[in-house]
Structure 1
Amino acid sequence: MFCRKCGYENSDQAKFCVGCGEAIRPSGLGGPAVTIPNYMTQAVLVTLFCCVPFGIVALVYATRVNNKALAGDIEGAQEASDNAFKWIVISFILGFIVIFLNIAFAFLQESQKVQ
């Protein structure tokens, strides 16, 4: 059995984890509980505030994480999580660049009006 706290594989007769000392309870699935971040909150925020097209791609991958994890496809869930994070970063950087350029052009236009 796997320890839910540290993931160490113990014998089936073990009452306590050899790795961390935690009491072992049999899990229904027989494997370690794996938490894979879905980045849903971040995907929603970058969609609203940074770059809508790339944010939507991040949202799609973020929704796939939980579905794949519930289906038992841990590798697919991890891949979807990694892709969601990648698109969140792309959306954030692109949104930041566009906002910075808009502010720079606004100041440039104001300085030309004054002259």
Structure 2
Amino acid sequence: MKTFREHLADDLNSVFFNEGEFAEKAIINDLEMTVIMDKIKEDKPKGEYEYGYTNHIEAEKLIILKYSDYELIGSPSQGERLILNGESFEILDTDSCDGIVDVKVRVFK
């Protein structure tokens, strides 16, 4: 009999990271992987923002990855950059739990 964690791992692949359901293919740091993306906020006006940056924020996104894929891209952390589908993003925050990683990013124009 499978444990709860084994059932959860199966569901991650068959439901949540299924491109027919919630997920999509993306290229992150030159590696193709299946991710779940969600837009958090968009179109903030110019002004002072956390970390001392002044610029226009095009969008804030949440990227959800399998932990194994997160390790493949070098486990980047807050303040580092990643390239998502050819665009450069700054990582604002990461959080991991039960085999997945939430990565909050923003892009500047």
Could you say which TM-score interval applies, normalised by the shorter chain? under 0.3
Computing the radius of gyration over CA atoms, which structure comes out larger, 1 or 2?
Answer: 1
Q: Which has the higher contact order (CA 8 A, sep 6+)?
A: 2
What TM-score do you get using the length of structure 1 for normalisation? Answer: 0.23
Is the strand fraction higher in 1 or 2?
2
